A and B are shown apart, each in its own frame.
Chain A
Amino acid sequence: MYDVAVIGSGVIGGLIFRKLTEYKLSVCLLEKAGDVCMGASKANSGIVHAGFDALPGTLKAKFNVEGNLMMKSVADELGVKYRENGSLVVAFCEDEVIKLKELASRGEQNGVKGIEIIGRERLKEMEPNISDEAVGALFAPTGGIICPYGLALAAIGNAMDNGGELKTDFEVVSIEKEEGGFTVKSANGECVTSRAVVNCAGLGGGKIAAMIGDEIRIGARKGEYLLLDRESGSAVNHTLFFTPTEKGKGILVSPTVDGNVILGPTAKEQADGNVLTSDEGLAFVSKKAGEMLKELPLYNTITSFAGVRAYSERHDFIIEESESVSGFFHCIGIESPGLTASPAIAKYVVEELMAGRYGWERNPSFNGRRRPDYFFKDLTAEQKNAVIAKDPSFGRTVCRCEQVTEGEILQAIRENPPARDIDGVKRRTRSGMGRCQGGFCQPYVAQLIARERGIPIEKVTKSGGKSYILMGVTK
């Protein structure tokens, strides 16, 4: 029997999973997909929000500000790229400047440090490419950017290195409350038993809650994005938001930690979790982004994608022990700023809600540091040569656009949490994420996956399930 089973391997489940391994416990992470982090945490804006947006007194406000403060050290320990680039909420008319002042005072109430309202001149200095229509902005220096799936992957990998167990392809379909714990059953008929359960199932969080009799409705709202080539990376320095008005929040325009530019998201209600992009959505994104910047290098678009927010009708995070079933904890309805809040939520859930109550002891052998040299390409020549001397496969470039080596791909397939398909390798190494979108490297990555996993190349998938990349041999 496990001490804790965590359901869902997004940033919330992932960071809780890691936090749990700081204690002397046996823990498992249950994920329905073939890889970790396949929900909202995979496709979002990647912004570490400063915390001026959430209403004072909400859990969103509390965990946003706390999470923001923690992010730097968490990213550092886990070797995740993070940059405090600062956020600007841009006003295009005097009414919007008034709105900015409201936001600024809300930020101060929430405890956000360093907020300023700046005028046109200063804005132009900070963002030379800003639209000439912009009249001023709210500047929040503590806003940052991070690779969201990088954070979840590293946290989960680190937890596994510290003894946590991961079960993918484990779709939870029923939960039985029993003497001293729970039996959690998967769609394939596999069972795990556990003393406590944490529900971090994102969009599936409502269904999981229903399995123990709690009724919590989780809604779905899609956001679509465009991603521009690194070549256009200098088009924007800070994360630029439109001033929120009655008509909506607009979109954001931001650099990413990997040097691309991200445009989006839209916000559209939908019945399910599909991540299809639409012509209208993408057209809206390009139109709005064009209003923000003087020059928008849309010709440098390398891909488009969508993510789905899971929100609760409370319009706040639900982070609590079930009222009806003791030992069952909900962390759901985690829409934005859930990524930012994730380290703070993990700390709160594990330390405040669980550890004392169960009398857990700390795990003295816990090592929170993950291998730091994740991105080989960023090393100096001397450092690279030291790595290549030990393992020559790091001297072989596989993905030319993002300069990813065979060594890194093998590492992604071998280490925790292991990549099993093309997209899994891509999220871990960036191979295939550049301007040719895998055109050159995919066949080589497929070969490496096949070899390492001991399967024929025809069984290699793009993204788990039956997403086979090949259909038989030639004549």
Chain B
Amino acid sequence: MKGNYDLVIIGGGPAGLAAAVAAYDSGVEDILILEREPILGGILNQCIHNGFGLTRFKESLSGPEYAARFISEVEKRSITVLTNTAVLSLDKGKLVTAMNAEEGVFTVQAKAVILAMGCRERSRGALNVAGSRAAGVYSAGTAQKYVNVFGYMPGKRVVILGSGDIGLIMARRMTLEGAKVLAVCEIMPQTSGLKRNIAQCLDDFGIPLYLNHTVTKIEGDERVTGVVVSKVDENRKPIAGTEIHFDCDTVLFSVGLIPENELTKGAGIELSRGTRGAVVTQSRETSESGVFACGNVLQVHDLVDFVSEEAEIAGVSAARYILGGEVKRDAVEVKNGKNILYVCPQLIDKSVGGKVKLFFRVTDTFKAPTVTVRCGNGAVQTKKLKVAVPGEMQSIVLSEETVRGLNGSVEVLVEVDQ
């Protein structure tokens, strides 16, 4: 096995695949993709529903179909892929240590690395729901894997906590498979999933959505037998006396995704508190030069189309780094202003050139708000939105000229006109 590559990509999901293709097309052909699963495609392989690619391909594909388009592009370019291979660590000098059954533990020296490890689901434990530890409690993605990949039903009477997209998709999927979904409970006053999923996955099937409600207790000795759901007050604390009891055998949690940055941390790369991914420039370059990040390991995206877009930026940037060498940064910081949960990228590197698209999430629901990007005391860009909700990522573009003119840190904020 070859001990060095120009570019090593960690993760063969949609982000890693698109990054590989983009880097190749930018002139770097010596690429290795490392993937721990037996096949490429990442989490898309278990997303057999439609709705992928509407933005990018203007057609509605299933997850595996969307992945297949990128896999065939990778194959056309004869990019080296190692599946069933887990990366164990990444060190500062871009030395990647990985392991598989054939090679054992081995190292690969890279000139540049792209992090594309994706994310994981928050578990029940993270929420501290009291009660029993009976069987029948799953994160929505695990249930999805059992149903779509293995062909087994994790349960028959289901309560879902959290209105994340995977939870909504699974509400529909389980219903179509003959299960009864009794309720979807969301602790917040608004859902965290996409509007189209609320309509297509809950409303169309008459599945009740309980906003401002949470699961306060899980019952059952061997298998779950029921849950208690309570209404919460404005501080999201359960209100006594509002308990509703459901007889169910299954509880699914769809309470958020967390970028999987253990390797990133291990390499000493700076992480953002907001995104829980690396702090990056618009090239998606991390605090370690020549190490890039894209897709859900960087920020949790709503749609795979945006993952591909971001991955292409990382791929092109990595190629530029490999072919042109390190360029001294001239970076300004991008700060979270009023009503902003996070902005990605967190840095704008003026040495890169070109326009910059800032992605952000808001903290609450806002009707007809204005987004402003401020530098010093003046607005450098504004944009009107119809509505902004935390569940849907927004973006605003700074033109090349605007970027060139930045003379200090910028701040993104969202306000509703009085």
A contacts, CB < 8 Å to B = 226-227, 231, 275-279, 281-282, 301-305, 381, 384-385, 388-389, 392-397, 400-401, 403, 435-440, 442-443, 447, 457-458, 461-475
A278 to B134, CA, bound (A): 15
Query: Could you tell me the distance in whole angstroms from the C-beta of B263 to the nearest C-beta in chain A?
Result: 10
Given contacts A385-B104, A439-B141, contact A277 B152 (CB under 8 A): no
Q: Is the beta-carbon distance between A463 and B104 smaller than 8 angstroms?
A: no
Q: Which residues of B contact A437 (CB under 8 A)?
A: 123-125, 139
The residue among A400, A443, A470, A474 with the most chain B CB atoms within 10 A of its own CB is A474
Q: Which residues of A contact B99 (CB under 8 A)?
A: 384, 388, 395, 397
7 nearest CB pairs, A to B? A303-B125, A395-B101, A462-B135, A392-B101, A397-B86, A437-B123, A385-B104
Q: Which residues of B contact A388 (CB under 8 A)?
A: 99, 101, 104-105
Query: Could you tell me the distance in whole angstroms from the C-beta of B23 to the nearest C-beta in chain A?
Result: 25
Identify the closest chain A residue to B173 (Cβ): A474
Select the stretch in B60-68, B142-150, B335-343, B355-363 that faces chain A. Answer: B142-150
Q: Which residues of A contact B135 (CB under 8 A)?
A: 461-463, 467-469
Identify the closest chain B residue to A423 (Cβ): B133
A-B contacts counted at CB < 8 A amount to 140
Q: Is the beta-carbon distance between B133 and A282 smaller than 8 angstroms?
A: no
Select the stretch in B73-81, B153-161, B291-299, B306-314 that faces chain A. Answer: B153-161
- Give 12 CB contacts A-B under 8 Å: A276-B131, A392-B101, A396-B84, A436-B121, A436-B139, A461-B222, A462-B134, A467-B135, A470-B154, A473-B152, A474-B147, A474-B153
Query: Could you tell me the distance in whole angstroms from the C-beta of A472 to the nearest C-beta in chain B?
Result: 5
Q: Is the beta-carbon distance between B142 and A443 smaller than 8 angstroms?
A: yes
Pick the residue among A227, A275, A467, A472 that contacts B222 (CB under 8 A).
Answer: A467
Q: Is the beta-carbon distance between A473 and B101 smaller than 8 angstroms?
A: no
Q: Which residues of A contact B3 (CB under 8 A)?
A: none
The residue among B138, B142, B176 with the most chain A CB atoms within 10 A of its own CB is B142
Q: Is the beta-carbon distance between B104 and A384 smaller than 8 angstroms?
A: yes
Pick the residue among A281, A304, A468 that contacts B125 (CB under 8 A).
Answer: A304
Any A CB within 8 A of the CB of B36: yes
A469 to B143, CA, bound (A): 10
A305 to B86, CA, bound (A): 31
Q: Is the beta-carbon distance between B151 and A395 smaller than 8 angstroms?
A: no
A156 to B333, CA, bound (A): 58
The interface bits of chain B over 65-104 (1 if a CB of A lies within 8 angstroms of the residue's CB, else 0) are 0000000000000000000101010000000010111111
What is the interface residue range for chain B against chain A? 35 or more
Any A CB within 8 A of the CB of B223: yes
Q: Is the beta-carbon distance between A458 and B141 smaller than 8 angstroms?
A: no
Identify the closest chain B residue to A226 (Cβ): B128
A-B contact sample (6 more), CB < 8 A, given A276-B130, A304-B125, A388-B101: A389-B104, A439-B120, A439-B138, A467-B135, A471-B153, A473-B153
Given contacts A301-B125, A395-B104, A443-B146, contact A468 B223 (CB under 8 A): yes
Q: Is the beta-carbon distance between B102 and A395 smaller than 8 angstroms?
A: yes
A396 to B83, CA, bound (A): 10
Query: Could you tell me the distance in whole angstroms from the C-beta of A3 to the nearest C-beta in chain B?
Result: 35
Q: Which residues of B contact A464 (CB under 8 A)?
A: 222
Q: Which residues of B contact A385 (CB under 8 A)?
A: 104-105
Identify the closest chain A residue to B88 (Cβ): A403
A397 to B249, CA, bound (A): 31
Q: Is the beta-carbon distance between B105 and A276 smaller than 8 angstroms?
A: no
A457 to B149, CA, bound (A): 14
Given contacts A440-B120, A467-B222, A469-B135, contact A457 B130 (CB under 8 A): no
Query: Could you tell me the distance in whole angstroms from the C-beta of A130 to the nearest C-beta in chain B?
Result: 24
Any A CB within 8 A of the CB of B216: yes
Any A CB within 8 A of the CB of B178: yes
Q: Which residues of B contact A282 (CB under 8 A)?
A: 128, 130
Given contacts A439-B121, A443-B142, A457-B150, contact A471 B156 (CB under 8 A): yes
Any A CB within 8 A of the CB of B132: yes
Q: Which residues of B contact A470 (CB under 8 A)?
A: 146, 152-154
Any A CB within 8 A of the CB of B59: no
Identify the closest chain B residue to A298 (Cβ): B128
Pick the residue among B101, B134, B152, B217 that contacts A393 (CB under 8 A).
Answer: B101
Query: Could you tell me the distance in whole angstroms from the C-beta of A160 to the nearest C-beta in chain B?
Result: 26
Q: Is the beta-carbon distance between A302 and B222 smaller than 8 angstroms?
A: no
A276 to B224, CA, bound (A): 13
Q: Which residues of A contact B102 (CB under 8 A)?
A: 392, 395
A475 to B173, CA, bound (A): 11
Q: Is the beta-carbon distance between A397 and B36 smaller than 8 angstroms?
A: yes
A227 to B132, CA, bound (A): 16
Given contacts A277-B131, A388-B104, contact A474 B177 (CB under 8 A): yes
Any A CB within 8 A of the CB of B1: no
Query: Could you tell me the distance in whole angstroms from the C-beta of A162 to the nearest C-beta in chain B?
Result: 33
Pick the residue among B100, B130, B132, B134 that contacts A279 (CB under 8 A).
Answer: B130
Any A CB within 8 A of the CB of B126: yes
A461 to B221, CA, bound (A): 13
Q: Which residues of A contact B147 (CB under 8 A)?
A: 474
Q: Is the beta-carbon distance between A400 and B36 smaller than 8 angstroms?
A: yes
Q: Is the beta-carbon distance between A277 and B130 smaller than 8 angstroms?
A: yes
Q: Which residues of A contact B223 (CB under 8 A)?
A: 466-468
Q: Is the beta-carbon distance between B152 and A458 smaller than 8 angstroms?
A: yes
A400 to B260, CA, bound (A): 10
Q: Is the beta-carbon distance between B88 and A302 smaller than 8 angstroms?
A: no
A281 to B129, CA, bound (A): 12
Query: Could you tell me the distance in whole angstroms from the C-beta of A425 to the nearest C-beta in chain B?
Result: 14
